[in-house]
Amino acid sequence: MVICIVAEGCYPYVVGGVSSWINSMIRNFPDYKFIILSIIANRSMRGKFVYELPENVVEVRELYLQDYDWKEKKSHRKFKLDEKEYHALKSLLINQQVDWDTLFTLFGEKDFLLNDLLMGPDFFRAVRECYRLYYPEAVFSDFLWTMRSMYLPLFLTMRMELPRADLYHCVATGYAGVIGCMAKKKFGCGLLISEHGIYTREREEELIRAKWVEGIYKNIWIDQFRKMSQLAYDEADLVTSLYAHARELQIELGCPEEKTRITPNGINTSRFENLKPPDVMSPDKVNVGAVLRVTPIKDVKTLIRAFAFAKKSVPNLVLWIMGPTDEDEEYAKECFDMVETMGVPDVQFTGRVNVTDYMGGIDMSILTSISEGQPLTILEGYAAHIPAIATDVGNCRGLIYGESDDFGEAGILTHIMNVEEIADAIVDLATHPNKRREMGENGYRRVMAKYKIEDMQKTYGDIYWDFEDIDW
């Protein structure tokens, strides 16, 4: 069986939980052939893999969402939609029942420049109808250009030349989900959606906080992501999630309950056995480990502030921030500058490292993210008998307090962006070594019982087998 994994903004270009999961999935199923269809920003990332691709990856395809200079492209052809195509376009723009089949046929089979559509009379007319119905208070010229920019990535997605596969496994809804639905229509293949975070909710949270989009345009963007996610939920044969609350959110957002299934993460626990502290870590220090990408969604600035406050009470604290700093270089520099400006000693940015080289000396892990799914870093810490401090996002509550088990608390849960609360948690674990050890053992028992790679491999092995057994 050939499986096309569709990933957005992660594997094989960016390290992190989802990328690690994809890499693990491919390596754990060597008898299947995999195609990677990766959705990335532009051609500047082309071929810049940070993972060594497994031998059973037979092809990598790239889709660039910000790589079409449509404003500059000119055509002498007059392009016009027929009545059915126009109504399909209008249904997309005004949030009616979207005629996706007609849109897929239009963008997948007709030969035209996107510029001819975006700058042509049909798109103008459809935008004007949307404007009159819902947003007459806005400046029309701004509205028109925003709609062109907003729909360009989706139109590029629907123009994508798809590789043939037996199963499309999309690691999100959104643009990845649209691709999966296109493939199902074109090839009659199976469609599996695996959400690590709930795509619609994550985009909504990002847009609410975003400074680049304001006013009504936040809601328009959110509606667009909802439409794409609903399409994926409607067309998928199976939709998985990592934990019970995520499944509940999927159903709440429109996924048919009978399609949903919980498939927890799994890690290779043997990697974290008998780890020794590295020479750079002093046994006289209390070492706090943060395995993360230095990006805004991980809220490293709150982590630095909380550590600074905690260190006033516990002077022998050391913070190890382990993970790449090149994904958002501007934000990373702001974090470096913050450490220097605040004069916080003992903050170590290691860059991308093999975490097993360090975790033998870590006393507690910490994650101050504003959004998560089911963080692998917490599970990996548990496998090394390390308790966790984490914000109450994603499945962090379930990992720390347990879900339908009696293993006990395996760390401390805090509110997002609450510097004082996070600092208190660090001080609490730093000054109570017996509590640290007990929580670390609770976490170890939990990960060994519920989150081993062998369990995940069996779960997805059964899923893949079910798809393989269907005569599409």
The CATH number for 428's domain is 3.40.50.2000
What distance in Å separates the CA atoms of residue 208 and residue 315, rounded to the nearest whole number? 38
Tell me if 102 sits within 8 A of 212, measured CB to CB. no
| CA dist., res. 180 & res. 330, Å (int) | 34
Report the residue count for the chain: 472
Identify the pLDDT of residue 331. Answer: 96
Question: In terms of domains, do 323 and 398 share one?
Answer: yes
Quick check: is 78 in a domain? Answer: no
In this structure, the answer to whether residues 227 and 287 fall within a common structural domain is no
Phi, psi of 402 (to 5 degrees): 95, 150
Question: Are 324 and 185 within one domain?
Answer: no
Q: Are residues 94 and 188 in the same domain?
A: no
Residues 348 and 232 grouped into a single domain: no
In a domain, residue 166? The reply is yes
Give the separation between CA 151 and CA 63, rounded to whole angstroms. Answer: 15
pTM of the predicted structure, to 2 decimals? 0.91
Q: Tell me what pLDDT residue 66 has.
A: 84
Measured in whole angstroms, how far is the alpha carbon of residue 220 from the centre of its chain?
A: 21
The number of angstroms, rounded, from the C-alpha of 136 to the middle of its chain's C-alpha atoms is 35
- Residue by residue, pLDDT tens for the chain (472 residues) are 999 999 998 999 988 889 999 999 999 999 999 999 999 988 888 888 999 999 999 999 999 998 765 554 556 567 899 999 999 999 999 977 899 999 999 999 998 989 899 999 999 999 999 999 999 999 999 999 999 999 999 999 999 999 999 999 999 999 999 999 999 999 999 999 999 989 998 888 888 888 888 888 999 999 999 999 999 999 999 999 999 999 999 999 999 999 999 999 999 999 999 999 999 999 899 999 999 999 999 999 999 999 999 999 999 999 999 999 998 999 999 999 999 999 999 999 999 999 999 999 999 999 999 989 999 999 999 999 999 999 999 999 999 999 989 999 999 999 999 999 999 999 999 999 999 999 999 999 999 999 999 999 999 999 999 998 766 5
Cα–Cα distance for residue pair 185/100, rounded to 1 Å: 10
In a domain, 434, yes or no: yes
In a domain, 469, yes or no: no
Q: State how far the Cα of 273 lies from the Cα of 70, in Å rounded to an integer.
A: 54
Q: Looking at the structure, do residues 88 and 167 belong to the same domain, yes or no? A: no
What is the DSSP secondary-structure string of 376-399?
HHHHHHHHTT--EEEES-TTHHHH
Considering the domain architecture, whether residues 250 and 279 belong to the same structural domain is answered as: no
pLDDT at position 73, please?
A: 59
Whether residue 276 lies inside any domain: the answer is: yes
* 226 and 91 in a common domain: no
How many CB atoms are closer than 10 A to CB 143? 20
Look at the chain and report how many structural domains it folds into. Answer: 3
**Residue where a domain stops, chosen among 234, 262, 290:** 262
Lookup: tokens for 348: 């170590």
- Tell me, yes or no, whether 315 and 400 share the same domain: yes
Please check whether residue 7 is in contact with residue 37, taking contact to mean a CB–CB distance below 8 angstroms: yes
Written as six digits, the tokens of 47 are 């071929």
Identify the three-state secondary structure at position 290: strand
Assess contact for 40 and 12: CB atoms under 8 A.
no
Q: Range of 240's domain?
A: 2-67+160-262
The answer to whether residues 132 and 180 touch, using CB atoms and an 8 Å cutoff, is no
DSSP SS3 for 70: coil
Tally DSSP H helices, then E strands, for the chain. 17, 13
- Give the residue from 125, 151, 177 where a domain finishes: 151
Q: Which two tokens stand for residue 4?
A: 């096309």
**Which residues touch 461 (CB under 8 Å, ≥6 apart)?**
29
Last residue of a domain, one of 216, 237, 262: 262
**73 in any annotated domain:** no
Determine contact, residues 14/327, Cβ cutoff 8 Å. yes
- Contact by Cβ (8 Å): 326, 332: yes
Same domain, 229 and 301: no
Phi/psi of residue 423, each to 5°? -60, -45
Q: How far is CA 389 from CA 153, 331, 400, 447, 464, in A?
A: 38, 23, 8, 16, 35
* Residue 291 domain-assigned (yes or no): yes
Quick one: 147 and 228 in the same domain? no
Task: Report helix angle 17-28 to 453-468, nearest 10.
Answer: 60
- Domain assignment present for 277: yes
Cβ-count burial 158-187 (b if 16+ within 10 Å, e if not): bebebbebbbbbbbbbbbbbbbbbbbbbeb
| Same-domain pairing of 235 and 201 | yes
